[in-house]
Structure 1
Amino acid sequence: MAVDQPLIYLDHAATSWPKPEAVVNAVTETLMRGAANPGRGSHRMAVQSGRVLFEARKNLAKLLRISNPNDIALTANTTVGLNMAIKGILKSGDHVVATAVEHNSVRRPLEYLKESLGISVTYVETDAHGELEATRIREAIQPNTTLVVATHSSNLLGSILPIAEIGEITRRQGIPFLVDAAQSAGILDIDVEAMGIDLLAFPGHKALLGPQGTGGLYIHPRLDPVPLLHGGTGSQSESATQPTVRPDRYEAGTPNTPGMAGLAAGVKHVLEVTPAVIHARETELINRIRDGLSTVAGIRLLGPVEGRPRTGICALTMEGVEASELSFILDQHYGIAVRSGYHCTPLAHWSAGTADSGAVRASIGFSTTDEEAEALVLAVREIRTHYPL
């Protein structure tokens, strides 16, 4: 790629870019004017830092329909939130129901607890397109099931799982329901109460448009997971045990205040545009990409079939060309950034039948333009001419 060639960034499922100007300004201003330790002092800069965190929590609560912002623990990313929920809820002998399109941020903690605590896990199969009937979750529940985990949208296939239907099942049976919103927060409408969600882990750096190193975990007030971290919080310091008050109970250590300032600004931007508008735009654009690629010989498109709801992800394989090679060519010769490999979700690749080959994933964001989408289609068509079947 020529040095002056503009980058076409189609890796938003990993991290959104570029960030809105308001996000950049919020981070910079906090670093320059008030990045003290919130909750650890009464001086004006510490108080201002506390306000930054509250603003982030308040905006997130509004977006996700959470009645009490203090039920949101701010974290470094979705992975931390998922680990907090999984390791804080489960104990020896418990059974978990998860899906066959889960990210390793769910699978690896579960597999670790299988080895260390003796929990058992049922991974409910999806179809080859990553779609799932909620009744299959109900059928997998056992007498000792203490947690149900489901991703809202597959980071490989773009499929959208029936979260509200699963939440209705778990609520009837009194089983906590954990949702991985890594690919949905900021894109799909989320209402934790209406959808029966007890625990919601989400990233700040993807569709919420915040910086890396930000995220959170919503914890229903009736739940009290064991904290993942123990340490200083600035509250109840005289006690040798972790505070009971939220959110301090789950936020030991100095937080990423500048990052959370950026997250607050990113969520504000999403609230102004609305997830409905964002999802509609991404759906239009990803369908245009898929339509263009569907006519290229030897291309297999993964995920839901035409007409089914999806997020802005287009994963594909090209017959006769390794996924890593296709991704390399797109980057080096066309200036198009995509991701190849297994996308930290081998379970989804097994479901899609690409466990041996991996895939190339192009993922769009609200900032993706029509011209960028068309550039990907034209590039893949041209590459195909150099690798005839």
Structure 2
Amino acid sequence: MIAVRSTEIRRDFPLLKDIIYFDSAATSLSPEPVIHAMNEYERLYRANVGRGVHRLTSLASQKYHNAHQKVARFIGAGEGTTVLTKNTTEAINMVACGLSWKKGDTVVTTAMEHHSNFLPWMRLRDRGVRTEVVVPQADGTFDLSAFELAINDSTRLVALSHASNVLGTVLPVKEIAGICKEHGARLLVDGAQSAPHLPVSIKDIGCDYFCFSGHKMLGPTGTGILWMKDDDIDPLLVGGGMIESVSAESYTLAAGYQRYEAGTPHIAGMIGLGRAVEYLEGAGMDSVRRHEEHLTGKLLTGLASMEHVRIYGPTDNTERIGVVSFNIEGMHPHEVSHILDEAAAIMTRSGEHCCQPLMHHMGIPGGTVRVSLYLYNTAEEIDLLLDTLAEITRRL
């Protein structure tokens, strides 16, 4: 592990010369080594994978397979199956559509979920599956006893975010996994916001499914991962590349991740994602975590000192990732975000962040301004953000 050296890292992100980018929770920037790895595939060995024996397809297939192994290592998966998807949304839907449900089953989730980890379970209501929703406390955290009450012997699956994309809250997923085991329930963890920012060990968590997106962790768009402890869901799609044999009467599915990757996959994307996790490993995820904690603490302290500013989520920066949501009294979040862009080239997210149930629960239907940090952000950028916000609030 090495300390995050933002000055050196920023050289790999040319876009940062012109802007301050605080929207990594939506989509992170990609460093030059990731772009190079993808371009290398396109220029030097572009071919399909798992099809044919010529030198290009052999090389592409090996690189593609190696990328799966890199990602599995990055999340501490050990055993299990690591499947390339388009994004976290597709990964979650694969589980929702692939399990065999029966009337009376219950899915436990939370009011804090991104729509991608909420709507697939709501849709199961048409099949007689109930949805139990656990709500956060006023500070955006959860009392573990709320899950102990919600999870029972009728619970088929618990689906929750490892870290909130709005409040930054880190959930006690390991402890919740223990409750699930007591009742024979499976656990799906949405790691879209945790995998890019926290040291993750699937083995330590003890979940059955872990889903995340490449575009939030320095990788290309159109890439995501579904990790499964067991191959216990039906494939969402069938077709080329995912079968062992086919006859006029029947077919046999391939083993491993190939079973779930019908058709030609995003080969360059998976290779790019493999390079992205190597980049993060080079920075050291413990160092990334500490760097973001420092910046988050600085941001929270600065915002708390301002009049007319309300912060949402945990006040302790060690209980959250580098995602901070706030509002300025009397101003719509879109207005604040637009001013930050125009006045100081600061990119933030504004709105409901695909979390309308949470916004309704918190009584802020207009949403929030969200600042999301990453390894390439600096303390000087936080200072400029705070100075700009101070100027905005002084005019109120």
* TM-score, with structure 1 as normaliser: 0.93
State the 1:340 CA deviation.
0.6
Q: Is the 8 A contact 1:230 1:242 kept in 2?
A: no
State the 1:5 CA deviation.
8.6
State the 1:307 CA deviation.
5.1
State the 1:138 CA deviation.
2.3
Pairing of 1:184-203 with structure 2 (within 5 A):
184-203=194-213
SS at match of 1:30: helix
Q: Give the counterpart of 1:105 among 109, 116, 119.
A: 116
Q: Is the 8 A contact 2:322 2:373 kept in 1?
A: yes
**Aligned: 1:175 with 2:185:** yes
Corresponding residue of 2:276: 266
Corresponding residue of 2:28: 16
Q: Give the counterpart of 1:114 among 100, 119, 125.
A: 125
Distance 1:301 1:310 in 2: 13
Pairing of 1:154-233 with structure 2 (within 5 A):
154-207=164-217, 209-221=218-230, 223-233=231-241
State the 1:337 CA deviation.
0.7
Q: Is the 8 A contact 2:340 2:388 kept in 1?
A: yes
Distance 1:242 1:381 in 2: 64
Distance 1:172 1:273 in 2: 38
Q: Unaligned regions of 5+ residues in structure 2, if any? A: 1-15
SS at match of 1:247: helix
State the 1:242 CA deviation.
6.1
Name whichever of 95-104 and 189-198 sits farther off: 189-198
Structure 1 residues 14 and 331: alpha-carbon distance in aligned structure 2, compared to 1, 3 A threshold: same
Q: Is the 8 A contact 1:5 1:335 kept in 2?
A: no
Q: Unaligned regions of 5+ residues in structure 1, if any? A: none
Distance 1:5 1:245 in 2: 46
Corresponding residue of 1:375: 384
2:367 is matched by which residue type in structure 1? Answer: G
How many aligned residue pairs are there? 378
**Aligned: 1:138 with 2:160:** no
State the 1:375 CA deviation.
1.3
SS at match of 2:118: helix
State the 1:234 CA deviation.
5.7
Q: Is the 8 A contact 2:25 2:165 kept in 1?
A: yes
State the 1:217 CA deviation.
0.4
Q: Is the 8 A contact 1:334 1:379 kept in 2?
A: yes
SS at match of 2:314: coil
Structure 1 residues 48 and 234: alpha-carbon distance in aligned structure 2, compared to 1, 3 A threshold: farther
Corresponding residue of 2:12: none
Distance 2:381 2:221 in 1: 24
1:373 is matched by which residue type in structure 2? Answer: I
Distance 1:91 1:255 in 2: 28
SS at match of 2:203: coil
Q: Give the counterpart of 2:372 among 363, 376, 379.
A: 363
**Aligned: 1:314 with 2:324:** yes
Q: Is the 8 A contact 1:130 1:351 kept in 2?
A: no
Q: Give the counterpart of 1:75 among 70, 85, 96.
A: 85
State the 1:338 CA deviation.
0.6
Distance 2:77 2:332 in 1: 44
State the 1:237 CA deviation.
4.2
1:26 is matched by which residue type in structure 2? Answer: A
SS at match of 1:231: coil
Corresponding residue of 2:98: 88
Distance 2:196 2:166 in 1: 18
Structure 1 residues 229 and 242: alpha-carbon distance in aligned structure 2, compared to 1, 3 A threshold: farther
2:214 is matched by which residue type in structure 1? Answer: G
Corresponding residue of 2:306: 296
Structure 1 residues 281 and 307: alpha-carbon distance in aligned structure 2, compared to 1, 3 A threshold: closer
1:346 is matched by which residue type in structure 2? Answer: Q
Query: 1:40-88: CA deviations, max 9, x gaps?
Result: 22111111111122221111111111123x6101111111111111221
Corresponding residue of 1:53: 64
Query: 1:201-241: CA deviations, max 9, x gaps?
Result: 0111113x1111111100112x4111111211164242544
Q: Is the 8 A contact 2:74 2:277 kept in 1?
A: yes
Name whichever of 210-219 and 84-93 sits farther off: 84-93
Query: 1:9-29: CA deviations, max 9, x gaps?
Result: 110001111x22210110110
Q: Give the counterpart of 1:7 among 19, 39, 43.
A: 19
2:109 is matched by which residue type in structure 1? Answer: A
Distance 1:234 1:322 in 2: 49
Distance 1:249 1:294 in 2: 51
Q: Is the 8 A contact 2:106 2:155 kept in 1?
A: yes
Q: Is the 8 A contact 2:246 2:252 kept in 1?
A: no
Structure 1 residues 133 and 148: alpha-carbon distance in aligned structure 2, compared to 1, 3 A threshold: same
Query: 1:285-316: CA deviations, max 9, x gaps?
Result: 01111111111111001110135511011100
